[in-house]
Copies of this chain bind each other. A is one copy, B any other.
Amino acid sequence: MSLTIKIHIASYLNLNHNHRVSNIASCPNFISTIRPKPFCNPNPLIPRTHIYKMPADHKAGAAPIIKSSLIEPDGGTLVDLVVPEGLRASKTSEAESLPHAKLSKIDLEWVHVLSEGWASPLGGFMREHEYLQSLHFNSLRMKDGTVVNMSLPIVLAIDDDTKSRIGSSPHVALFGPDGDHVAILRSVEIYKHNKEERIARTWGTTAPGLPYVEEVIASAGNWLIGGDLEVLKPIKYNDGLDNYRLSPKQLRQEFDKREADAVFAFQLRNPVHNGHALLMNDTRRRLLDMGYKNPILLLHPLGGFTKADDVPLDVRMEQHSKVLEDGVLDPETTIVAIFPSPMHYAGPTEVQWHAKARINAGANFYIVGRDPAGMGHPTQKRDLYDPDHGKKVLSMAPGLEKLNILPFKVAAYDTLEKKMAFFDPTRSENFLFISGTKMRAYARSGENPPDGFMCPGGWQVLVKYYESLQAEESSQKPAVLSS
């Protein structure tokens, strides 16, 4: 989302007067310290350990037909690449006999994404024909002529040594960062990794300082390896948040269980402030006005790689739980889950991925804001992307025609009316905005933002986080300064 955050006062409260109280207070394991403690599920309708059991006759690679009544997964069936339990031992010993490639932490996040079908119909890391279509067309043409959206290259880079080690082996074992066997990549295809071209076509710039490029691509090998992925067991992080990592299959089951007749997804990588909440509640009201009886909000924070100055996942999850606890969002009609993808910060290109993945999870409405997946230009004093391009590109993107795009209405603090209201450009001088930088400055200094910017419980989570950060920073200062 944008670096500029709009102040919100409390107009949504009228909507929420009959909200049920969250069950968070009754959660025995709830611990108020910020991290890295495990962490209570504020949503009464999501089981705390909800691990989907594969049918006994499931075969890895054979995608079971999982559909909700809301929206079809891309390609018609939801991809599931996790090997059934009965086959794990034999596949693991096969993996031991194969040449291997090592996965970075972020590669593993992509294995997770692929394994659960977020990228359906993609069945593994991209081969070259998929990579080229993604890079040039932001979409893939299927054998039957239909088109699915695929805006980010989901690729695995290997170096020269790994390429030699693989030689002509058709199958390759993938090891995790800790050396454990994670997956087998079958019928592999190795092709050149032209980093400059990948970066230019994905980000629309090659300026130094793009977070994903610096973290992942700059040091990556000069080859990409694609193939069909078989994941040996579900990817888990053991960080106390795995119960929030619901797969598209689990989310579809949950929506069906709740008898949702509309699912609207809200992607975010920042704390929820009241501007977001106003928008989400307003969206629900609009959907009810349109005749839907039971619209469910999928509040869907991104859980993979984020840049260093973003608020970490565990803090965000605690902040989100407070937002539900404080009644800003209604737990009855909200599902909070983690979207396991890493961030690219690739603006209009990435927002398509964010939307497409939510189709696979069963969302048929997608809220898009100002400058989605955007950031400041790394070397120039401007936004990297035109803040309006994200929603424009999203609304025209191939393969997303079946998704209802809901553009973000801008909410800001109305200084005349002394309350939060949707921004009126004809009297822009009466509206006040708070930038992300300003918000962080407030939280760091312990100063409160204007009333109604964020619910007090949520704000306290951030204040504590920045306090802990400052404590950490000062403890890292040298004990004796050199003169």
**A132 surroundings in chain B (CB, below 8 A):** 348, 389, 392-393, 396
* Known contacts A132-B389, A348-B136; A141/B196 CB under 8 A: no
Nearest to A200 among chain B residues (CB) is B200
A398 with B396: CB separation less than 8 A:
no
B205 with A128: CB separation less than 8 A:
no
Q: Which of A326-368 contact B (CB under 8 A)?
A: 348-349
Shortest beta-carbon distance, A367 to chain B, in Å? 20
**A192 surroundings in chain B (CB, below 8 A):** 386
**A205 surroundings in chain B (CB, below 8 A):** 196-197, 200, 206
Binary flags per residue of A186-215, CB closer than 8 Å to B gives 1, else 0: 000000101011001101111100000000
- What CA separation (Å) do A138 and B204 show in the bound complex? 14
B194 with A200: CB separation less than 8 A:
no
The residue among A194, A197, A207 with the most chain B CB atoms within 10 A of its own CB is: A197
**A138 surroundings in chain B (CB, below 8 A):** 136-137
Task: Say yes or no for A133: interface residue by CB 8 A criterion.
Answer: yes
Nearest to A198 among chain B residues (CB) is B204
B398 with A139: CB separation less than 8 A:
yes
Nearest to A147 among chain B residues (CB) is B398
Shortest beta-carbon distance, A96 to chain B, in Å? 35
Task: Say yes or no for A418: interface residue by CB 8 A criterion.
Answer: no
Shortest beta-carbon distance, A353 to chain B, in Å? 12
**Of B203, B349, B386, which contacts A136 at CB under 8 A?**
B349
Task: Say yes or no for A129: interface residue by CB 8 A criterion.
Answer: yes
**A200 surroundings in chain B (CB, below 8 A):** 200-201, 203-206
A392 with B137: CB separation less than 8 A:
no
Nearest to A140 among chain B residues (CB) is B396
Binary flags per residue of A124-152, CB closer than 8 Å to B gives 1, else 0: 00001100110011110100010100010
**A197 surroundings in chain B (CB, below 8 A):** 204-205, 385
Task: Say yes or no for A397: interface residue by CB 8 A criterion.
Answer: yes
Nearest to A203 among chain B residues (CB) is B200
**A194 surroundings in chain B (CB, below 8 A):** 204, 386
- What CA separation (Å) do A191 and B192 show in the bound complex? 37
- What CA separation (Å) do A206 and B133 show in the bound complex? 21
- What CA separation (Å) do A324 and B19 show in the bound complex? 83
Q: Which of A239-254 contact B (CB under 8 A)?
A: none
**A136 surroundings in chain B (CB, below 8 A):** 138, 151, 348-349, 393, 397
Q: Which of A262-315 contact B (CB under 8 A)?
A: none
**A151 surroundings in chain B (CB, below 8 A):** 136
B201 with A137: CB separation less than 8 A:
no
The residue among A132, A386, A401 with the most chain B CB atoms within 10 A of its own CB is: A132
- What CA separation (Å) do A132 and B397 show in the bound complex? 10
Sample of 22 A–B contacts (CB below 8 Å): A128-B392, A129-B392, A129-B396, A132-B393, A136-B138, A136-B348, A136-B393, A137-B396, A137-B397, A141-B396, A147-B398, A192-B386, A194-B386, A196-B204, A196-B207, A197-B204, A197-B205, A200-B200, A200-B201, A200-B203, A200-B204, A398-B398
Contacts A137-B396, A197-B385, A398-B398 aside, 14 further interface pairs with beta carbons under 8 A come to A129-B392, A132-B389, A132-B393, A136-B138, A136-B151, A136-B348, A136-B349, A137-B137, A137-B139, A137-B398, A197-B204, A197-B205, A200-B206, A201-B204
The 8 closest A-B pairs by CB, nearest first: A197-B204, A200-B200, A200-B204, A206-B206, A201-B204, A133-B396, A200-B205, A136-B393
